[in-house]
Amino acid sequence: MKTYNFAALLVGVPLLMAFSIPLFGFISKQLAKWITVLTLTFEFLFSLYILLWHVYPFNVIMGNWVPPFGENLYIGSLATILIVVISFVGLMISIYNLWSAKYGDVVHFALLFLMFVGGSIGLISTGDIFNVFIFMEITGISSYALAAYGPERRALGGAFKYLVISSIGSTLYLFGVLLIYTQLGTLNIAEIAARISQTTPGLLTFAGILLVAGLAVEAELFPFNGWVPDTYTGAINPVSATLSGIGSVGGVYVLIRIVMTVFGKNGNFVSTYGNLDLMTLIAILGTATVVIGELSALVQTNIKKMLAYSSMAQMGLVAMAFSIGSRLGAYAGIFQLINHSIAKAMLFLILGVIVSFGGERVEDMKGLWYKSPFLAVTFTIGALSLLGLPLFGGFWSKFALVDASFQRGGWYDFIMAIVLFASVVEAFYYLKVVGYIFTSKPAVSEKIKVEISPAIPIAAFAILIIAIGIFPQIVSGISYSAAHELTDKMSGYVLNVIPTIVGH
């Protein structure tokens, strides 16, 4: 067990800077925005240091209270790569916000944004099942306020819907946590994972359903994702990018950590304790999410709503990939999560620039190539990556997903059919938009002038997508070792946190 207490800064610095932003806001509004950029640059460089110098896996143990007696942060390979992705996406969106946050209470917008990113990083790194609830509420409360921000009144309806569903979800999650606590008397994820077989099966099943129901709200799985279209459409574009690029990563991470590490059994294929197989439940929910999300996206005329439904469907693909239960499946899920996070955040940012010059219907994309070649090419890159064309990032994750379901065999062949179905439907609606962009003549021949601060993040995302497409090694190596952390719960996770514990 390695200890590296400096990494507590990963969670501490954004939260500290978030609450001191109003002080900087007294001096100037621009300074408040630059503070977010500086803080997230620090986050990104520090997490990149942890990744490249191979500092992970380690624990953060403050005050020498070793787990399971004290609270700890555990940053393994999975948490490292996800923190790198989150802080990169957050940094890019904060650079974009230098341009886009012009009206209203800019200072408090910067505060909420930084709090959201800090909360997501805490959500991913914490090793305590109750702290997960606290970080869920930190990200939750800041994202409700972010979603309500903006000049349009439809944002309020979406934010309220999100608030109601998400706060009920986190209450259900708390209920599940407490049911497990009555059985085991501990809140440490590693100790719960090691002793999960000592619980009463009936109560464990009930607790598992409550936990999955609570976490599926953030992970955008089918019966709990009614908020997605309204909130994404209502919110301003950088907020939609934040929710789909950062919020869903945290949600999926916790869901998978609970289902695969806490409830999982060691073995080639992860299966679960209790009367009900949670992995099968996730597979069913994921399949339903993909089918419903893709078919809903197909008929949308509002491009923002189309992206929202597509985001839902992609999260379904991620959940399905994890539910295969093998190492290759977990690898495909992590890879797909990263690809989706980058590509969908980029599409929302591009849409933000386009919307500031015109409407957001699909017809408004007509002739974008003649208005702004830069936006047209980057939008095409993002769309092609999402539908999984070779030479773009999304191809490798979908390929691994098909490969994993083929190797598992049995009824998991069904997943292969769903993935191919999803790709065809995605090709249909994304290529429709791409066709409008390149072939139609624009209604008004007014040029779109892209300023430097929105251009930097869009270009960086586009270059990253192509880089992953050509050299998948930059993500796939760490993703594959992260998959080991999920499928082999004792040697991958539990023994790294509590070396002396005996599994049951």
Binding site for another protein (CB under 8 A): 130, 133-134, 137, 140-141, 144-145, 148, 153-154, 156-157, 159-160, 163-164, 167-168, 171, 174-175, 178, 181-185, 187
Minimum CB distance to another protein, residue 486 (Å): 27
C-beta closer to another protein: residue 1 or 106: 106
Reading the block at residue 39, the tokens are: 């803080």
C-beta closer to another protein: residue 215 or 462: 215
Total Cβ atoms within 10 A of residue 479: 24
Minimum CB distance to another protein, residue 144 (Å): 6
Distances (CA, A) of 439 to 425, 431, 435, 436: 21, 11, 6, 6
C-beta closer to another protein: residue 141 or 362: 141
Can you name the residues that pair with 75 across neighbouring β-strands?
58
388: left (phi over 0), alpha (psi -120 to 50) or beta: left
C-beta closer to another protein: residue 193 or 387: 193
Minimum CB distance to another protein, residue 207 (Å): 12
CB 262 within 8 A of CB 196: yes
C-beta closer to another protein: residue 19 or 471: 19
> Is 3 strand, coil or helix?
strand
- What residue spans of 71-218 are helical by DSSP H? 77-100, 106-125, 129-148, 154-184, 189-194, 201-218
Minimum CB distance to another protein, residue 498 (Å): 18
Can you name the residues that pair with 126 across neighbouring β-strands?
73
Minimum CB distance to another protein, residue 129 (Å): 11
List the one residue out of 215, 33, 249 whose CA is nearest residue 121.
Answer: 249
Minimum CB distance to another protein, residue 351 (Å): 19
C-beta closer to another protein: residue 2 or 153: 153
Instruction: List b or e across 378-388, with b for residues whose CB sees 16 or more CB atoms inside 10 angstroms.
Output: bbbbbbbbbbb
> Is 72 strand, coil or helix?
strand
C-beta closer to another protein: residue 167 or 271: 167
Minimum CB distance to another protein, residue 230 (Å): 9
Total Cβ atoms within 10 A of residue 151: 8
Reading the block at residue 76, the tokens are: 């393994």
CB 497 within 8 A of CB 67: yes
Minimum CB distance to another protein, residue 147 (Å): 9
C-beta closer to another protein: residue 183 or 280: 183
Reading the block at residue 228, the tokens are: 């997605």
Tokens 């959940």 belong to residue:
319
Minimum CB distance to another protein, residue 145 (Å): 6
C-beta closer to another protein: residue 85 or 207: 207
